[in-house]
Amino acid sequence: MRFFEGPGLLLLVFLAALVVVTEIDASKPSPGVQERYETFLRQHRHNTKDVNNKYCNKMMRDRGMTSPNCKVKNSFIHASTEDIKAVCKDKGDPLETKRMSCAQFRVTTCNLKAGSIRRPCEYTQDKRPRYIVIACEEDHPVHYDEGKVIINRPKPCKK
């Protein structure tokens, strides 16, 4: 067993370290996907139970969606990043090119009140729990489908 002496031992240690680093990096998305994922989180995730009647006005302003114009519609998912990411894996089913969650999420959808898209922005809110539909890249959510409000799931998730 002369292989585990001298340069052979050094090579073995190097290969083991390379495997560990590769495993750690495998869970990180590529830079472009990471940027879209962070944008998704900023625009669509707020893990809170405190949703009062001024929630949408405050959140839309705080998240930069009222300048220069008022964004017409946006939804906030009240869940952990892990629970949302799981929809991209085993907690969601394919739906066209996206994924639909197996379980309902608490979601608040903010809709701009009738009138101008100029400030001050005033929003109404819909707080119904629903199944979320998201686009995923490299197992990370990158887009929330505002057009799909699914209160009753058409069929159970595949196991």
Catalytic residue of the set 44, 46, 78, 140: 44
Token couple for 151: 């209160």
Q: For this structure, is 143 an active site residue?
A: yes
Catalytic residue of the set 46, 78, 140, 143: 143
Residue 98 β-bridge partners: 95
**3-state secondary structure labels for all residues of the chain:** CHHHCCHHHHHHHHHHHHHHHHHHHHCCCCHHHHHHHHHHHHHHECCCCCCCCCHHHHHHHHCCCCCCCCCCEEEEECCCHHHHHHCCCCCEEEECCEEEECCCECEEEEEECCCCCCCCCCEEEECCCEECEEEEECCEEEEECCCCCECCCCCCCCC
Catalytic residue set: 44, 143
